[in-house]
Structure 1
Amino acid sequence: MARTKLYTGIYVALFVIATLQVVVERTALMEEAYVIALALITVLSVIKAVVVAGYFQHLVWEPRSVTYVMLLGFVGFLALTVAASYSIQ
């Protein structure tokens, strides 16, 4: 029963964050201050990704070494993305 409550709470939190992202995108904030809206949506997306990876991919209950391997892969992904974006210009 505890897992059902946990996953329901996580679902509600993800739903609220997704709704906030849509509200930010739809409001005048996006037109007036594009960079601020983009930063806010990016931060909310990172929060959602951490929650999904932590609970739905069970990284919370895994040994820390598995989490570090996942983080190492993510850092590699970011490095390759940044390098690719500079090579396009």
Structure 2
Amino acid sequence: MTRLRLYTAIYVVLFVSATVQVLVEQAGMAYQTALALILALSFVKAVIVAAYYQHLRWEPRSLTYLMGIGLLAVLALTVAATYSITP
């Protein structure tokens, strides 16, 4: 029962975060500000998914660090790709 509550809470956090991302996109704020907010929210969502849905929270720390390095590489490539198509 505890896992069900945990996963439900995580689902709600991910849903709210995705909704905030859409609202940020449609808010009409400056491109750089919107990009920073969306990247930050995406990073938080990726960490939550990796930690709980991929069970890294209960794995040895070395495996968690290895996945973290991969996550940072993906984030760096995303930022580089984003700046290469700046209007």
Alignment TM class, shorter chain as reference: 0.7 to 0.9
C-alpha distance after superposition, 1:8-58 (max 9, x if no partner): 0000000000000000001121xxx11001100000000000000000000
- Structure of higher CA gyration radius: 1
Which residue of structure 1 aligns with residue 52 of structure 2?
55
Change (3 A) 1:34 1:78: closer
- Point out 4+ residue stretches in structure 1 off by more than 6 angstroms: none
**Aligned partner (choices 60, 69, 73) of residue 70 of structure 2:** 73
Output the aligned Cα RMSD. Answer: 2.2
Q: What TM-score do you get using the length of structure 2 for normalisation?
A: 0.81
CA distance in 1, matches of 2:23, 2:70: 32
Matches within 5 A, 1:25-36: 25-29=25-29, 33-36=30-33
What is the percent sequence identity of the aligned residues?
58
Which residue of structure 1 aligns with residue 2 of structure 2?
2
- Greater RCO, 1 or 2 (C-alpha within 8 Å, sep 6+): 2
